[in-house]
Amino acid sequence: MTPAPSGRTVPAYRRTIWWKTASASPATSPLFDGASVDVAVIGAGFTGLTAAWHLARRGARVAVLEADSIGSGASGLNAGFVVPNFAKADPAAVLAWLGDERGRRLLAMIGEGADRVFGTIREHGIDCDAEQVGWMHVAHSPAMLAMLKLRAEAWQGLGRPIRMLDESAARALSGARHCFGALLDPSGGTLHPLNYAYGLARLASKAGAIIHEQAPIDAVLRDAGGWRLESRGRTLRAGKVFLCTNAAALGVARCLNRAVVPLRVYQVATRPLAKEIARRISPERNPVADTRANLFTYRLDREDRLISGGMAILPFRAEARMARMIAGRLARELSLPALPELDCVWQGTAAMTTDFLPHLYEFGPGFVGGIGCNGRGIALTAMLGEAMADAACGRALSDLPVPLASHRAIPLRVLAEAAPSFAIAEAKWRDWRDRL
């Protein structure tokens, strides 16, 4: 964070391009002591707001409790890519881990995510710069092109409309310097994540959910017939509780945080590009990721800013250093005429599970947490939130497509938190070796 004029610090989400360009935030209500609801949802991000919306429209009395402001966590800090697949797990690996029946249900759920997001946006008129233009996964080498072909075949076998682009077609859609072909998922795209969160909040409120900002939950305690939530001396009683706090680590959010590895991600937004440059590097505005171990991604926003990000080997005082690195990488990889000027720089935290799959966690009867987007938060949360709503409405956790996991802390978690730094160093070495 950076110092504010008053001497206080500026929250990370207020330094994003999304905060700078967002519409007015939705109206919310203060939390009063002694209220009672059917379901309390902790966390006003994509997962929590989606779950609250589905529950409220089914007639449940729902309260959403947010420690800060709507979208102040990962939902307002990401890059706005809508990608309906796993970041690290191929379909074959999912089927091997979960078995054919359970694995196919999870893969079907994941594959529907982007269409569900854009369908909701269209049906309910959410103004969030949504562009369902297709997501490109660019092969940076011939070997990775062969890997993408196998991945595409696996998704096609599951009925997904994935197709491969040869080098010529991929280069026509992408400004990437290293491009030997690409996988194209036409259901993917981009949006303004904070405005999308605001849209979900308005849908939930319209359906009857009550949203409380500045309501951190310090404890969730077993109570007669349900649960008692405590927030700064105020009490809320609920029959069921959903914990949707992603990588947050304060208060009751620690219950989920200890089961994942936090991954710091640095993001930048450049100043708007000249129109001819924007058309050259992304004529159809497809968001792009490549196949290098040290991942390169980019997209355009509504004003033709480039949005990109990266991870630091040494995360200490890394923001300015990473901003220079990401800007330089954009200039090199997209053959820009000059180093792009940056409009915004910010840092977020992704929650990574050890198997790179989403999970549900049961902390007690009717007290359930959901997490594990692993960098695919927008598309996945549209499905995860609905699955959690199904659980509140009587569907057994074991019958949901999202696997149930132990909420015990990751063993040797201090070492696990250091693992991303080693992984990034290895990724850079592998990419250097491949270039040679």
CB-CB contact of 247 with 349 (8 Å): yes
Average pLDDT on 120-146 reads 97
Q: Is the CB of residue 63 less than 8 Å from the CB of residue 48?
A: no
Look at residues 218, 222, 149 and name the one whose alpha carbon lies nearest to residue 183: 149
Residues written for the chain: 436
The CATH number of 12-78+194-259+355-415, from 1.20.120.790, 3.50.50.60, 3.90.110.10, 3.30.420.40, is: 3.50.50.60
Q: What percent of the chain has pLDDT above 90? A: 75
Q: How far is 378 from 412, CA to CA, in rounded Å?
A: 30
Average pLDDT over residues 260-281: 94
Amino acid identity for residue 314 in this structure: L
What pLDDT, on the 0 to 100 scale, is given for residue 87?
81
Of 114-128, 232-246, 249-263, 300-314, least confident by mean pLDDT is: 249-263
Tell me how far the alpha carbon of residue 147 is from its chain's centroid.
24
C-beta of residue 13 within 8 angstroms of C-beta of residue 19: yes
Task: Report whether pLDDT(327) > 80.
Answer: yes
Contacts of 264 (CB under 8 A, 6+ apart): 311, 312, 315, 318, 347, 348, 349, 420
Tell me what pLDDT residue 413 has: 58
Cβ within 8 Å of residue 208, ≥6 positions away? 56, 57, 61, 62
CA 49 to chain centre: 14
Query: In the structure, what pLDDT confidence band is assigned to residue 428 with cuts at 50, 70 and 90?
Result: low
Question: What would the two tokens of residue 410 be?
Answer: 């990751």
pLDDT bin (cut points 50, 70, 90) of residue 152 is very high
Q: Whole-angstrom Cα distance, residue 318 to residue 268?
A: 13
Residue type, 210: I
